Amino acid sequence: MKKKILITGGAGFIGSNLALKLISKGHTVTVLDNLSEQIHGKETTSSVLFNSIVGKVNFIQGDVRNRQDWEKAIEGQEIIVHYAAETGTGQSMYEIEKYTDVNIKGTSIFLDILANNKNHNVEKIVIASSRSIYGEGKYECENHGLIYPKERNENDMVNGDFKVKCPLCNLNAKLLPTDEESKIHPSSIYGLTKQAQEEMCMIAGKSLNIPVVAFRYQNVYGPGQSLSNPYTGILSIFSTRILNNNDINIFEDGEESRDFVFIDDVVDATILGIEKEEANYKIFNVGSGVRTSVIEVTEKLLSQYDNKVKYSISGNFRLGDIRDNYADLTKIKNDLGYIPRVSFENGISRFSNWVSSQKIEEDAYNKSINEMKNKGLLK
C-alpha cells in the first residue's frame, strides 16, 4: 500500500537516498530539513544531496526545534522517519547544548505533538539510532566471560596501549559482534542523545499505540556522502584530504575498526522496517557484520585514487572514541530477512569512483582537529 511518508533530515545522506527509493516504489515523500551548512555547504544550490531530491519531494525548510515546522510537516503524514540530528561523535563532546537541543528537544517536540493532537494520521515511526549507544560494545574475557567494558583508560592510551581491557582483571579483552541485547552505555554525548531519541520514541509509541522501529546504524557510506563535513565520515574525510594532496594522520595504532555498511543496504533495511509489521516495536542493528581497520580503509582509498599521499600512525586519540565495533545481524536477518549485499571492496570502489567525479572540496579537517585540541579532547 502506498503511503505518505515524512523524512526529517531527508536532504541528508541517508534521508535523500531513502526518499528516492520510496518514491520509486510509489510512496509520496515529504522532507523537513534545515539544510545545515556543515552538510550542504554555504550554497545549497550546489549541494549534491539537496539537488537529488529537488522537485521529487514536498520540501519544507525548517528546524526540528520549531514546533510550527513540525506541525506543518506532520500534517497528513502516515509514516514518520526521523533522521534529523547532529551526528559528529567528536564534535558532540564540546557542542553539548547544540547536540542535546537538536537531538533530544527536537524529538520531544515531535512526540509531544502526537500525544496532544489526536487528529494526526501517523501510524508508524522509524527512528534512526546508532551503534554509538553501545559504547565499547560486547567483549569476552578469558577469566570473566562476557563483559561490557567501560571507556578506555586515558593513561593507557597516552602510553600507546589502545586495547580494550576487562574492567575486573584489566586483561586485554576479545571483541565479539554486538547484538541488540548488549549493554547500552554510550561514551559520547552524541551516543547519549541517540539513546535518548530511541527510548523516547519507544516509550511514547507504546503509550500512543503507534508502532516504532529503531535502527542502530553502523558506519554508513557511499556515493552522495558529504565531502565538506570534517566532523563525521572517515571515508569522506580521508578522501577529501587525499584529493587535496594532504597527508593523513591515523589515530591510535591504526588497528581500531568499524563496521562499514553501504548506503543501498541501509536504505533496503529501513524500507523493510517501514513495510513489515514484524518490525513493529523492535530494535535492529544495521551493518555489514564485518569489521574493517582504519589502516585498511586508508590503504584501499589510496589505491583507489592511485595517490602517493603518505599516512602516518601518530598515536593521537580522541576522548569519547571507541576502539572497535561490529554488528551482530542475527535479529534483523531472522525477523526482516535483511542481508547486506554490498561488500566493502565493492562499496569503496563505487564510492571512490563517485568522489573522483565531484568537485574537490576544501579540506577543513585541520580546523576540526584544532577545535578538539583547544577543548582538550585530542591527545
Which secondary structure element, helix H or strand E, spans residue 61, and what is its range?
strand 58-61
Distance CA 18, CA 11 (A): 10
Whole-number pLDDT of residue 307: 85
Whole-number pLDDT of residue 223: 94
Residues facing residue 284 across a β-bridge? 215
Reduce the secondary structure of 226-281 to three states and give it as a string: CCCCCCCCHHHHHHHHHHCCCCEEECCCCCCEECEEEHHHHHHHHHHHHHCHHHCC
Whole-number pLDDT of residue 192: 96
Whole-number pLDDT of residue 147: 97
> pLDDT truncated to tens, each residue of the chain (379 aa)?
899 999 999 999 999 999 999 999 999 999 999 988 887 777 777 788 888 999 999 999 999 999 999 999 999 999 999 999 998 888 899 899 999 999 999 999 999 999 998 889 999 999 999 999 999 999 999 999 999 998 899 999 999 999 999 999 999 999 999 999 999 999 899 999 999 999 999 999 999 999 999 999 999 999 999 887 777 789 999 999 999 999 999 999 999 999 999 999 999 999 999 999 999 999 999 999 999 999 999 999 999 998 888 999 999 998 878 999 999 999 999 999 999 999 999 999 999 999 999 887 777 777 778 887 887 878 8
Whole-number pLDDT of residue 152: 92
For the chain, what are the domain ranges? 4-138+177-374, 139-176
Whole-number pLDDT of residue 362: 78
Instruction: Identify which of 55, 105, 107, 62 has the alpha carbon closest to the alpha carbon of residue 81.
Output: 107
Whole-number pLDDT of residue 367: 79
- Give Cβ neighbours of residue 359 (< 8 Å, ≥ 6 apart): none
DSSP state, residue 318: B
Cell triple for 320: 569519547
Whole-number pLDDT of residue 228: 78
The CATH code of the domain at 4-138+177-374 is 3.40.50.720
Whole-number pLDDT of residue 372: 76
